[in-house]
Amino acid sequence: MRTSTAASDPVRIVDSTLRDGSHALSHQFTEGQVRAVVHALDAAGVPAIEVSHGDGLGGSSFNYGFGLEDEIGLVAAAVQEASRAEIAVRLVPGVSTIEDLRAAHEVGAGVARIATYCTEADVSVQHFRAAADLGMRAVGFLMFAHHASPRALARQARIMVDSGAECVYVADSAGALALATVQERVAALVREIGADAEVGFHGHQNLSLGVANSVLAYHTGARWIDGALCSLGAGAGNASIEVLVPVFERLGVPTGVDGAAVLAAAADVVAPMVQRAQAGPGAGLPAGQSGGFSSFLRHAQRAANRYDIPVHEIMHRVGEAGYVGGQEDVIIDVALRILDERDAVGTVRSNR
Amino acid sequence: MAVMSRASVAVVGPGNVGTDLLVKLLRSEHLDLRYVVGVDPASDGFSLARESGVATSAEGVDWLLSRADLPELVFDATSAAAHLVNAPRYAEAGVRVVDLTPAAAGPFVCPAVNLDRHASAPNLSLISCGGQAAVPMVRAVSRVAPVIYAEVVTCVASRSVGPGARANIDEFTATTARALESVGGAGRGKAIVILNPVEPPVVMRDTVFCAIPADSDQGEITSSILRAVAEVRRYAPGYALRAEPQFDGPRPEWRGLARVAVFLVVRGRGDYLPPYAGNLDIMTGAAVRVAESLVRERVGAL
Among B169, B197, B254, select the one facing A94 at the smallest CB separation. Answer: B169
- Measure CA of the first residue to CA of the last residue in chain B; give whole Å: 13
Spell out the alpha helix ranges (H) of chain A.
Answer: 31-44, 71-81, 98-106, 125-133, 150-163, 180-193, 210-219, 241-250, 259-264, 281-290, 296-307, 311-320, 330-351
Q: How do B258-266 and B149-157 pair as beta strands?
A: unpaired
pLDDT value at residue A345: 67
Whole-number Å distance between alpha carbons of B14 and B35:
11
Where does residue A307 rank: exposed (0-12), middle (13-18), buried (19+ CB within 10 A)? middle
Q: B59 in contact with A at a CB cutoff of 8 Å?
A: no
Q: B174 in contact with A at a CB cutoff of 8 Å?
A: yes
Q: What is the pLDDT of residues A105-143, one digit of tens each?
A: 999 999 999 999 999 999 999 999 999 999 999 999 999
pLDDT value at residue A321: 78
**DSSP count for chain A of H helices, then E strands:** 13, 8
| Average pLDDT taken over every residue of chain A | 91
| % of residues, chain B, pLDDT over 90 | 88
Whole-number Å distance between alpha carbons of B104 and A73:
30
pLDDT value at residue A278: 55
Q: Please state the pTM of the whole predicted model.
A: 0.91
Shortest distance between the Cα of B193 and any Cα of chain A, in A, equals 5
Q: What is the pLDDT of residues B196-230, one digit of tens each?
A: 998 899 999 999 999 999 999 999 999 999 999 99
> Given an 8 Å threshold on Cβ–Cβ distance, is B197 in contact with A324?
yes
Using CA atoms in the order B172, A336, A57, A270, what is the torsion angle rounded to 10 degrees? -170
Is A53 tagged catalytic? no
Q: B256 in contact with A at a CB cutoff of 8 Å?
A: no
Confidence class of residue A205 from pLDDT cuts 50, 70 and 90? very high
Confidence class of residue B43 from pLDDT cuts 50, 70 and 90? confident
For A331, B219, B232, B275, the CA distances from A336, given in Å and listed in that order, are: 9, 19, 24, 24
* Phi and psi angles of residue A271, each rounded to the nearest 5 degrees, phi first: -50, -45
For A85, A207, A307, B277, the CA distances from A302, given in Å and listed in that order, are: 36, 23, 9, 31
What would the DSSP string read from start to end of A27-41? Answer: T---HHHHHHHHHHH
Please tell me what DSSP assigns to residue A52. S
Where does residue B300 rank: exposed (0-12), middle (13-18), buried (19+ CB within 10 A)? exposed
Identify from B156, B196, B198, B247 which residue to disrupt to test chain A contact, counting A C-beta atoms within 10 A and taking the largest count. B196
**DSSP count for chain B of H helices, then E strands:** 10, 12
**pLDDT higher than threshold 80 for residue B3:** no
Determine which of A131-135, A201-205, A299-303, A342-346 has the lowest per-residue pLDDT on average: A342-346
Determine which of A238-247, A332-341, B278-287 has the lowest per-residue pLDDT on average: A332-341
**Do residues B196 and B158 lie in contact, with contact meaning Cβ atoms separated by under 8 Å?**
yes
> Given an 8 Å threshold on Cβ–Cβ distance, is B192 in contact with A322?
no
In chain B, residues with a C-beta closer than 8 Å to the C-beta of A303 are: none
Buried b (16+ CB within 10 A) or exposed e, A23-62: bbbbbbbebebbbbbbbbbbbbbbbbbbbbbbbbbbbbbb
Q: Which residues of B are catalytic?
A: 129
In chain B, residues with a C-beta closer than 8 Å to the C-beta of A332 are: 207, 246, 261, 263
**pLDDT higher than threshold 90 for residue A269:** yes
Neighbours of B101 (CB within 10 A): 30
Determine which of A45-49, A306-310, B59-63, B293-297 has the lowest per-residue pLDDT on average: B293-297
